[in-house]
Structure 1
Amino acid sequence: MEFKHHHGGFPSHQPGGHVHFPQEQVVQHDSEIVICPEGDRTLGVHLGFLQHRHHYEVAFTIQDDLGEDVDIEPSLHARILEVMPSETEYPGHTVAVDLAAHKEKLMQEKITLRSRNDKNKAITLVLHARVLGRGKGTPALRNGIKCTGIDADEESEASDWMGFD
């Protein structure tokens, strides 16, 4: 049996134990929202890096069997703006979410979409993000994510604190 060594799209091992991925694969992975199964009827939506106290509009498409009309179970920091049947060859929905990056480090917000025609059919979306604190840099946002606002910082001059008279 003979194996041929192939580098196209696969990582290569370098001396010192480091793994290097082809540049086009790194750029594509870093610039797209990644959606992957995380269990029975649960999808992980990996958003990459966001900034603390910023608000984002996040748009992505999922494959599902919920039918055209869905109900939404609310979430505290992730508010659904719109859910529409997707215009792809596969059944599913395009989802738009207003997300508040309310805490630093790892953030997870759950949203459940439930079929209006069959209440037993539901999909839980778990939004994952790494949230950078103040002074930790400005992340490059992935495709489908745009910043829509920034909460005023209590310690900045932009706050409405007038001080003591």
Structure 2
Amino acid sequence: MATAKKASSKAGGIRFAEADAAAHSHVHFDEKLHDSVVMVIPESDGNFMVKVGFLMTQHRYEIDFTLPEDPELGIDVCPAPVPNPYLQIKHLSAAPNGGFNVTCEYVAHKEGVLCEEVLIVSESKEDVCRKVKVHARVMDRHHGTPMLLEGVRCVGTELEYDSEQSDWQGFD
């Protein structure tokens, strides 16, 4: 037992309760894991990658993040009118400390590692735009509930088509 206890103390991140407290089934996380937020990563081409963590299929999420200041883009920006059925910018405004506050609505439509894009365009500079790529790891709704990152909120579920629930009788 002492060997197992010693080995588990070296593994960082997760610490399981001792055997006498196992009846409560508690899992304790290191403090550094509690500050999980949406990550915005500037790319070398001027675009942005936004990592939103684990989501669940057939759910709709609101995602808030701040893009860094971009002198080439300017301050007068708006979402490009390019339709994306799974990702839409709902709110875009200048942040008090520079950059832009963005609120998106994202529909996790299938399982897997997904990437959806939206464009932000400059209203004052022609032909200046930035892609915002939202990366999510989407798990099937039968595989548990993900712990959402700070800045991600579930705002609803989507109806899932199930052929067994159809009342169509077929052809005669």
TM-score (ref. length: structure 2): 0.73
- Counterpart residue number, 2:157: 150
Please state how far the C-alpha of 1:156 moved relative to its aligned partner: 8.8
Identical-pair percentage: 29
Which secondary structure does the structure 1 equivalent of 2:116 belong to? Answer: strand
Select which of 51, 59, 81 maps to 2:56.
Answer: 51
Which secondary structure does the structure 2 equivalent of 1:68 belong to? Answer: coil
- Counterpart residue number, 2:130: 123
* Root mean square deviation, CA, Å: 2.6
Unpaired stretches in structure 1, ≥5 consecutive residues: 1-14
Task: Report if the CA contact (8 A) 1:35-1:46 is conserved.
Answer: yes
2:81 is the counterpart of 1:60: no
Deviations 1:104-127 (A, max 9, x none): 110101111111111243221110
- Counterpart residue number, 2:44: 39
Deviations 1:104-155 (A, max 9, x none): 1101011111111112432211100000013111101111111111112223
- Counterpart residue number, 1:8: none
**More helix per residue:** 2
- Counterpart residue number, 1:98: 105
* Corresponding pairs, count: 145
* 1:126-145 to 2 correspondences below 5 Å: 126-145=133-152
Q: Which has the larger radius of gyration?
A: 2
